Amino acid sequence: MNSVTVGGRTFTFYDAGKGPAIVFLHSFGHNKLMWLPQLDALTSQGYRVLAADFEGHGGTYFDPHGYSIDRLADDTIQLLSHLGVSSAVFAGISMGGYVALKIWKKQPSLFRGLILSNTKAEPDTPEIMERRDRQIDFIKKHGTSAFVNEYAPKRLSPLTISSKPWVLDFISYLNRSIPSDVLIATLWAMKERTDDTPLLDHITVPTLIIVGGDDRHIPVNASQTLSSRIKKSTLVTLDGTSHVSNLEDPDRYNSHILNYLKALDTKESF
């Protein structure tokens, strides 16, 4: 694991391999470890992979005041600048996709390409806001471990839980590593996230959109909106997976990413 202090703030991250850069942005309640199947696959294919812990996750600093999705984007931009990364493919899953869209809004020149998985551009609906409020109350009353026991299985498809129980164990382990105050701050940040749908019409880089066919958190129609609005986009549905598709079916997930990167590297049309 790499660690660097920039402006008095410590960031932890992976930076491995050589070649075109790919920046992986993790989802809520997880950290950079969630990308292990992708890091192995892509470093072996000649890519430089970077996966950082968002604020409060892993060993990265945490300041509860003003915590927001925008600040996670600013932190990522600052870290990449420190590392000398001026162009990359950004791959964000769920909350990581929210951050990727904010980075595009702030500094589109950083993007060579974009991969959005199990994510959306729309803000939370009132129903989702209420769900986040319930989750915050649950964490305050019962703590992180009880929240993980209740929440983690809902992120996976029934097929994954029955055939790959280790995936549930792994994401539960990652969830339990996040302090309760960080989980609460992150839920608030997602709840207060602004609408990024207008950005979609202005995304000019080739974009791969991946959605789990059984995703109960962000349904297929949200990914269809992304695909219909982003001009150079390809939409892929991974049947049998839910909200953590990169871990539920890493072979198919990696295959789609590698095909996308090959087309991007050879400047094939999308």
Q: What confidence tens digit (pLDDT) does each residue in 194-218 have? A: 999 999 999 999 999 999 999 988 8
Pairing of strands 233-238, 9-16: unpaired
pLDDT at 268: 53
Would you mind telling me the total number of residues written for the chain in this entry?
Answer: 270
Smallest Cα–Cα separation from 31: which of 215, 177, 217? 177
Indicate if the alpha-carbon torsion angle 50, 56, 60, 64 is positive or negative: positive
Smallest Cα–Cα separation from 54: which of 169, 146, 190? 190
Q: How far apart are CA 36 and CA 28, in angstroms?
A: 16
User: Is 100 within 8 Å of 25 (Cβ atoms)?
Assistant: yes
Smallest Cα–Cα separation from 216: which of 161, 133, 159, 156? 156
Token couple for 128? 């989702």
Give me the CATH code for the 2-121+195-265 domain, please. Answer: 3.40.50.1820
Collapsing DSSP to helix, strand or coil, 10 comes out as strand
User: Is 79 within 8 Å of 6 (Cβ atoms)?
Assistant: yes
Question: Residues 6 or more apart from 166 whose CB is under 8 A from it?
Answer: none
pLDDT at 220: 84
Per-residue pLDDT of the chain (270 residues; tens, 9 = 90+): 799 998 889 999 999 999 999 999 999 999 999 999 999 999 999 999 999 999 999 999 999 999 999 999 999 999 999 999 999 999 999 999 999 999 999 999 999 999 999 999 999 999 999 999 999 999 999 999 999 999 999 999 999 999 999 999 999 999 999 999 999 999 999 999 999 999 999 999 999 999 999 998 887 888 999 999 999 999 999 999 999 999 999 999 999 999 999 999 887 545
Q: Break the chain into its structural domains and give their ranges.
A: 2-121+195-265
pLDDT at 247: 98
CB atoms within 10 A of CB 206: 24
Quote the pTM value: 0.96
Smallest Cα–Cα separation from 89: which of 105, 102, 100? 100
Which strands sit side by side in the sheet containing 21-25, from one edge to the other? 2-6, 9-16, 48-52, 21-25, 88-93, 111-117, 207-212, 233-238
